[in-house]
Structures are given as C-alpha cells and as structure tokens.
C-alpha cells in the first residue's frame, strides 16, 4: 500500500480496497462490503471538509519540514529505491501482482526523489568549513 495513494482522492478508494482484500478472512478482522469502501473512504477523508478528515496531519510532534536530508543522502535513497524497483520489475517477480504494484509505487518515489535531487543540485550550498 502507498500512503500517498491512500490519501489521494483519485486513488484512495482503490487503495483502501486493496487493504481490505489483504485483511479479508484474517482472524479477528471484520471487513466491510467492497461496495461500501468508496463511501467509507470519502467520509473518513471528508474531501468536502478537510478540517473534519480523520487523519493525523495535525498531530503533535516533529514537522515534516524539519526532516532535512543532504544531497548525498537523497541520491542514496533514489539509488536504493531504483535498485528495488529493478529487482521487482524482473525475473520471478514479473507475474506477481503485488510486486508489480510495488514497481508502480517505486516509480512514483523515484520521480519524487529525482525531482528533489535536481532542485538540490540547482540550489546547492556547500557545507561550510568547521571553525578553527
């Protein structure tokens, strides 16, 4: 599952349906009817009134903007996600539906990471020398 796809109005209901399929039939789990999933997703996310949405976007704690990565770290993340995408896009994984879903997610993250790397390279600020 992709969190970004789960909270997106275009892909959220389908992603929630994937989650329901995984949980269906598991001991201690009750899953609603498939036809009800889009309705429950829309009410939970309340796209008409974002302030009423049931999510943790307003949670206490570290702000997303406080997580700062170096250019080198961003490149390493992009390279690792690319390696994993390549792994699950080939060999025994080609006909595995879950693996192919991962490939789609990895492609989205590779695009995001590549865009961030490009922005960082354009606005590159060298690390200052330590004080002596």
In eight-state DSSP terms, residue 126 is: P
| DSSP-assigned states of every residue in 18-78 | HHHHHHTT-TT-----GGGHHHHHHHHHTTT-GGG--SSTT-SS--GGG----HHHHHHHH
* pLDDT at residue 111 greater than cutoff 80: yes
Q: Tell me which of 4-18, 21-35, 61-75 is least confident.
A: 61-75
Contacts 24+ apart (CB under 8 A), 41-49: 41/12, 41/13, 41/16, 42/13, 45/7, 45/9, 45/12, 47/9
pLDDT of residue 15: 93
With contact defined as beta carbons under 8 Å apart, do 50 and 44 qualify?
no
pLDDT of residue 124: 80
Residue 54 binned pLDDT confidence (cut-offs 50, 70, 90): low
With contact defined as beta carbons under 8 Å apart, do 18 and 38 qualify?
no
| DSSP-assigned states of every residue in 89-116 | TSGGGTT-HHHHHHHHHHHHHHHHHHHH
For residue range 56-71, what is the model confidence (pLDDT) as tens digits?
A: 666 677 777 788 899 9
Does pTM surpass 0.95? no
The encoded tokens of residue 94 equal 């080609």
* pLDDT at residue 125 greater than cutoff 80: no
């Amino acid at each position: 599952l992709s969190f970004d796809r789960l909270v997106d109005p275009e892909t959220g209901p389908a992603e929630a349906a994937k989650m329901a399929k995984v949980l269906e039939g598991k001991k201690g789990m009750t899953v609603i009817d498939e036809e009800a999933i889009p309705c429950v997703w829309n009410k939970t996310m309340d796209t008409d009134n974002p302030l009423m949405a049931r999510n943790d976007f307003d949670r206490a704690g570290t702000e997303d903007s406080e997580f700062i990565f170096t250019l080198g770290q961003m490149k390493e993340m992009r390279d690792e996600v690319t390696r994993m995408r390549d792994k699950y896009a080939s060999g025994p994984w080609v006909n595995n539906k879950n693996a192919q879903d991962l490939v789609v997610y990895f492609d989205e993250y590779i695009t995001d990471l590549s865009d961030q790397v490009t922005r960082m390279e354009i606005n590159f600020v060298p690390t200052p020398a330590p004080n002596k």
